[in-house]
Amino acid sequence: MAEAQKQAEKIRSEAQALAEKTRKEGYSAADEIEAKEKNPLEKAAAKKAADKLRKETDEKAQKIIDEGNVKADKIIEDAKRRAEELEKQ
């Protein structure tokens, strides 16, 4: 069971790190989109595009975290089930 918890924590940690990397890259790209434009009309359009990119980035990062949590929870549930089966024998 302890080994399963270690694996689960590792998966959660890796998912969090990947989500942060994804968020950093997405926000950096959004900032570049905004910084490129000088014309006020183009700047407004760029801001809208950058905001959309940030929102999509946040959603993608959250999905990565959620998937990591699902995998980690499954490992722990499987370990609990195996432990219960061993106790019954």
**Model confidence pLDDT, tens digit, residues 12-25:** 999 999 999 999 99
pLDDT above 90 for 88: no
In this prediction, residue 21 carries a pLDDT of: 98
Q: Hey, where are the domains in the chain?
A: 2-88
* Separation between Cα atoms, residue 81 and residue 19, nearest integer Å: 30
In this prediction, residue 1 carries a pLDDT of: 78
Question: What DSSP letter does each residue of 18-64 carry, written as one string?
Answer: HHHHHHHHHHHHHHHHHHH--SHHHHHHHHHHHHHHHHHHHHHHHHH
Residue 2's pLDDT band, with cuts at 50, 70 and 90, is confident
In this prediction, residue 76 carries a pLDDT of: 94
pTM reported for the whole predicted model: 0.85
The set of residues, in sequence order, having a beta carbon less than 8 Å from that of 30 and lying 6+ positions away, is 49, 50, 51, 53, 54, 57
Task: Determine contact, residues 51/30, Cβ cutoff 8 Å.
Answer: yes
